[in-house]
Structure 1
């Protein structure tokens, strides 16, 4: 009986620890209030779109998630994030692929027009050797809220 209780307590503690790495967003009303007077650090220049890549989770914070545009070539790297960071860069209008490198490659496609602001979230998960990642597109309100809440990562270049 005592062993079962100990195992149950260990599982409960592990669940609590895992849950703290995946904080949920506040209500839409709270996000609207928090971002009402917030100006994004960089808006799109004439004829371009702006992309923000956010990594709100602190899971795997020491692992860099490198961000590339259109291919996996070193010249296409825009920057990288660690836990609780974001980066931004501008794109010419059209179809683009945003890629993120951790233990694995993740990607998502975006179609942008001049003046668009796109938010993409990097989600870490446990890998075999280091953190893995996936990408998901965010709506404007949660994207803007994440940028306000995070610190800037390492931006290697701001235009692709």
Structure 2
């Protein structure tokens, strides 16, 4: 009878470990079907539109994973003066860029980067993917198409934008 209790204790520990892992990692934000996104975006317009002679970049972090960790965003280099803002879980930021090629950097436990090409009057959507890190959350970046980008901007709140004043 005593060995049966040890089995239950082991099962309980396993169950608790799985629960903690699920809470830590959370669920990845999934976009619904194209038809559902189109219906949900009916009548919606982005908070900011690009100027005719500039491009606009939205950086979106739809997951809640590592929500307390801010992911700082930089344009073209990692210097402090190149920071344009930061996100936490379920947030987005946006900023204008000159047309042409740029590198977007995202700083968490690691540095992630992605190269983009922005045409005048166009908007580019970049997604931050949080991952479990050694000490704090890590991140990766990817491009999103316009429909998915608009959907995730609508579903997230505004992060913190750096002002150049």
**TM-score normalized by the length of structure 2:** 0.87
- Cα distance in 1 for residues equivalent to 2:120 and 2:135: 40
For the aligned residue pairs, the C-alpha RMSD in angstroms reads 1.8
Query: Does 1:136 find its partner at 2:164?
Result: no
- Cα distance in 2 for residues equivalent to 1:5 and 1:154: 44
Counterpart pick for 1:47 among 49, 53, 64: 53
- Cα distance in 1 for residues equivalent to 2:133 and 2:10: 29
Q: CA deviation at 1:16?
A: 4.7
Structure 1 gap ranges (5+)? none
Q: Compare CA radii of gyration and give the structure with the larger one.
A: 2
**8 Å CA contact retained: 2:90, 2:156:** yes
CA 1:18–1:31: 2 relative to 1, 3 Å: farther
Matches within 5 A, 1:105-144: 105-144=111-150
Counterpart in the other structure of 1:103:
109
Structure 2 gap ranges (5+)? 1-6
Moved over 6 A (4+): none
Query: Does 1:31 find its partner at 2:37?
Result: yes
CA 1:108–1:22: 2 relative to 1, 3 Å: same
Counterpart in the other structure of 1:86:
92
Q: CA deviation at 1:128?
A: 1.2
Counterpart in the other structure of 2:65:
59
CA 1:64–1:32: 2 relative to 1, 3 Å: same
Report how many residues are paired.
158
**TM-score normalized by the length of structure 1:** 0.90
